[in-house]
Amino acid sequence: MPEYVIPAWELPSLPVQGEKKRFPVRRIWCVGRNYAAHIKEMGYDPNREEPFFFAKPADAIVHDGGVVPYPPQTKNLHYELEMVVCLGKGGKDVPVEKALDHVYGYAVGLDMTRRDQQFASRDRGRPWEMGKGFDHSAPCSAVVPAAKIGHPSRGSIKLAVNGQTKQDSDLGAMIWKVPEMISYLSALVELGAGDIIYSGTPDGVGPVVKGDKLHGAIEKVGTLDITIG
Ligand code: MN
């Protein structure tokens, strides 16, 4: 191990269902606008256009059962429930037909968004980072290995806030399917083992406030519980 001039930090990681060993998180990639009904609610044309991606820092992970402190510099914190694809193997220019071989497993994630910051950046043609990649912006459940559940391409994806259903859709409604997003992203950057991909949110996004309890569930994949602090 190298020595460092300042204290090094712990590698971000996720628990794995049924395993003592953890899944190390290298980078967090996110797909934008991947469910037609969500594209419409955001005011865009839902015709299939090329997928686009943004990133969050790996240390933005918040574990299941944890607290997302209400972030500074926003009055409009939104949830976006998403299936997370966890890569066990990297690669570049991965063909669609081989893409699922790169997946270790899946998880339930929340792409927390400072919507007012995101829109302000968008309107000025500036990057989205401060709307998307802030501290604690990436709650994520334990990883369930694909070896156990296969590769879910349909199944319900649901989010409730304080017991009230807000998002209720099906993974089958994704515009860009998991193998396509892996293949497409791997042509833009060389993917690494430990990279995780938030695969986009269905419609029904909305604001949360301090004290709200979020419960996300994706059929076969698992559940995620978060409190806004
Ligand atoms: Mn999202």
Tens-digit pLDDT profile for residues 68-99: 999 999 999 999 999 999 999 999 999 999 99
Q: How far is the CA of 8 from the centre of ligand 1 (A)?
A: 30
Output the CA 97–ligand 1 centroid distance in Å: 25
pLDDT band at 57 (very low <50, low <70, confident <90, very high): very high
Which pLDDT does position 42 carry in this prediction? 86
CA 80 to centroid of ligand 1, rounded, Å: 6
Residue 40 C-alpha to ligand 1 middle, in angstroms? 14
**CB proximity list for 60: less than 8 A, separation 6 or greater:** 28, 133, 134, 135, 136, 137, 138
Task: Provide the residues around ligand 1 (an ion) whose CB is within 5 A.
Answer: 80, 111, 201
CA 77 / ligand 1 centre spacing (Å) = 13
Interval between CA 33 and ligand 1 midpoint (Å): 7
DSSP states of 27-69: -EEEEES-BHHHHHHTT---S----EEEEE-GGGEEETT-EEP
**21: CA distance to ligand 1 center in Å?**
28
Q: pLDDT tens digits for 120-163?
A: 999 999 999 999 999 999 999 999 999 999 999 999 999 999 99
Q: Which domains does the chain have, with CATH numbers?
A: 13-228 (3.90.850.10)
Residue 50: predicted pLDDT:
86
Predicted pLDDT of residue 37: 86
Q: pLDDT tens-digit profile of 1-48?
A: 789 999 999 999 999 999 999 999 999 999 998 998 888 888 888 777
pLDDT tens for each residue of 159-217:
999 999 999 999 999 999 999 999 999 999 999 999 999 999 999 999 999 999 999 99
111 Cα to the center of ligand 1, angstroms: 5
Work out the average pLDDT over 106-118.
98
